[in-house]
A and B are shown apart, each in its own frame.
Chain A
Amino acid sequence: MRLRTIVWREIFERKNQLATSFLAIFFGITAIVAIRNVTYYSQKAVAAELDALGANILILPKSATLQDYYSADMQEDDFPEEYVTRLTLSDIQGLDNLSPRLSSPVEVAGRNFTLTGILPMNEFKAKAAWQGAGIFARPENCGTVVKSPISPEAAKGSLARKRVIVTLQPYEVLIGNDVAVAAEVNEGDTLALLGQRFAVTAVLPPTGTVDDSRIFGHLHTIQDLTGKGPVVNAIEVVGCCNAISGGLVQKINKLLPEAKVVTVTQVVDTQIKTNRMMANLSLIFIAIIALIGGATIANYMYANVFERRREIGTLMALGAGSGAVLKMFLLKALLLGIVGGASGYVAGTALAVALGPRLAHVPVLPMPVLLLWALGLSVVISLLASFFPARRAARLDPSTALQES
């Protein structure tokens, strides 16, 4: 038999009394692990988005409110498509690509998805040649729409991340991964939308964003089928970083005073603020668990020492020194910390993986490093909270303990 055998047996003998302390540390660690896990992946997603999108600009109706870059065009308000023409014909430098969008809800296979009309790049080229002026007449590189970095073959598949497409016929659609799964549709099949049959030219790879629930069609076709006329909900602009810092947003604002112009950094800033808030929240949880968890454990340990004073007195009569008694209670605290930390990690991770995609719109995976973090935190809190009760046990007067109880 080892000292830990005595500790284990005592824990199981009085497990109900220990339950409150366990739950205090378990829920605290669960909350912290869940928040830190979601925050980490949310921060990672923001970094990836910024990396993938570069310095993008969104042109939206004045009344638009914005939380997520990917769902910027999913709103009821719209503005004239003529804004696109104004931009193409303007002398503004630094516009690499324009992507006007019009979105409308649509039902496919009994589920609601978003039908989004986009304008392929070849129509800009045609328009540029026809107009013979504006941004398409400028030299290539920064500020030139004509030179696309995307090959036509790869363009359809990469629409989801590159935000532009080279060609798209009036009755062709590209569908998001979730739509393809729900409608059981593959590339080459057809899909009925708003009373019209469309050819599915590509199934987009999963992105973990709302684009997975979108169906992309030709802007003008969508405008006709929805009866909205020549309007759009948003224009995505890929601009040069230098141009943006050189006042590109202000120039577009001046050109389109009826619209709201925001950079993607501003959009992601909302998410960054949310992430920062979650990080702060986890700090608050650490403080709460340290206080409430610690107080609960200390309270339980004091009660446990009081209840076991006859037992402690007996052990001392049998030759237990103060060190052995102290060790016995601290070992119990250590076990409480380990079990509370480990189970809190498991529950917190499960919570983060299950709720992360819904709350932060990012896929969340388990983070083994948080296990060490959870164990360390719960063990330190448990040991600190138990130290003074354990010391009281070690200093008990054995004769009083035997005579009192």
Chain B
Amino acid sequence: MLALQSVSKTYTHRGRTVKALDNATLEVRNGDFVAVVGASGSGKSTLLLTLGGMLSPASGRVLVDDQSLYDMSTDKRAELRRKKIGFVFQTFNLVPYLTALENVQVPLLLAGIDGHAQQERASALLTRLGLADRLDHKPSELSVGQQQRVALARMLANDPAVVLADEPTGNLDPDTSRQIIDFLAEINGEGRTVVMVTHDMRAAERAKRILKLVDGTIAPDGKGN
């Protein structure tokens, strides 16, 4: 289970203090599919990074399976991410000089898996995402949709229980967006918890639950609440 307990986070931007999260409280049960919607600058990405153990809150607690994330050391949080959390970014964040196969191998390498097993697992994941013929292509040699599929394969490499997706369809055309959301729904169907921030309402509609973020405060937005 994922939980935010009275989490606040503020930034200082050009001398002004901006509240990204304001006493936000949230509970996401295992196997849930939650979409967080909101306008630009409403704190969606901050919420996701905080849930992923990448951004410490000014106050409040963040729990992953009852473990308080920010009471852990930086390296312990990295280890927890490696084992339990998969990230999907709007801009894919693939390593530009590695091939599709190698990009998917990165989390496996960080988990200490040996080279042969890395290749097998990465190859199987890319095949599942329809990229069997693109294993040796670098990101610059792939279409935008293919890049996002490589990023999805990479996210799944260590078989995470929790998937955090930051605007996963933000840079994609409608058809590819639909394929990506289908895939997120598919892996949610496998029992993984998915938290997706998006401003695309059609994508959000595919989630089991929609939350709205307004000025750092989480409010239910109808579906599933």
Contact = CB atoms under 8 A, between A and B. Distances in A.
A9 B74 CA distance: 27
A314 B93 contact: yes
B67 to A, nearest CB: 16
A323 interface: yes
12 contacts: A2-B109, A310-B93, A311-B93, A316-B54, A317-B89, A318-B106, A319-B82, A319-B107, A321-B79, A322-B78, A324-B110, A399-B49
Given A13-B96, A318-B110, A319-B107, A1 B115 contact: yes
| Overall SS of chain B's interface | helix
Interface string A370-405: 000000000000000000000000000111001100
B58 interface: no
B36 to A, nearest CB: 17
Given A3-B109, A6-B98, A316-B54, A321 B115 contact: no
B183 interface: no
A2 B75 contact: no
A397 B109 CA distance: 22
A1 B105 contact: yes
A123 interface: no
A321 B60 CA distance: 24
A133 interface: no
Contact of B78 (A3, A9, A10, A321): A321
Contact of B81 (A12, A311, A319, A403): A319
B69 to A, nearest CB: 13
Contacts of B82: 318-319
Nearest to B55: A399
A288 B203 CA distance: 60
Given A6-B106, A319-B79, A319-B83, 15 more contacts: A1-B105, A1-B119, A310-B93, A314-B89, A314-B95, A315-B110, A316-B81, A317-B87, A318-B81, A319-B82, A319-B107, A319-B158, A321-B75, A324-B110, A399-B54
Q: In the complex, which range does the number of interface residues on chain B fall in?
A: 20 to 34
A256 interface: no
A320 interface: yes
A5 interface: yes
**Which of B79, B89, B111 has most chain A Cβ within 10 Å?**
B89
A316 B85 CA distance: 12
Interface in B107-156: 107, 109-111, 115, 118-119, 154
Contacts of B105: 1
Task: Kindly list the 9 A-B residue pairs having the minimum CB-CB distance in the complex, ordered from nearest.
Answer: A319-B82, A13-B97, A399-B55, A314-B93, A321-B78, A321-B75, A399-B49, A399-B54, A1-B105
Contact of A5 (B74, B102, B110, B158): B102
Contacts of B45: 403
Q: Which of A5, A319, A321, A323 has the most CB of B within 10 A?
A: A319
Given A9-B97, A314-B93, A402-B93, A319 B55 contact: no
B52 interface: yes
Contacts of B83: 319
Interface in A308-343: 310-311, 313-324
Interface string B48-87: 0100101100000000000000000011001101110001
Given A13-B97, A399-B55, A402-B54, A317 B81 contact: yes
A402 B49 contact: yes
A110 B127 CA distance: 77
A12 B97 contact: yes
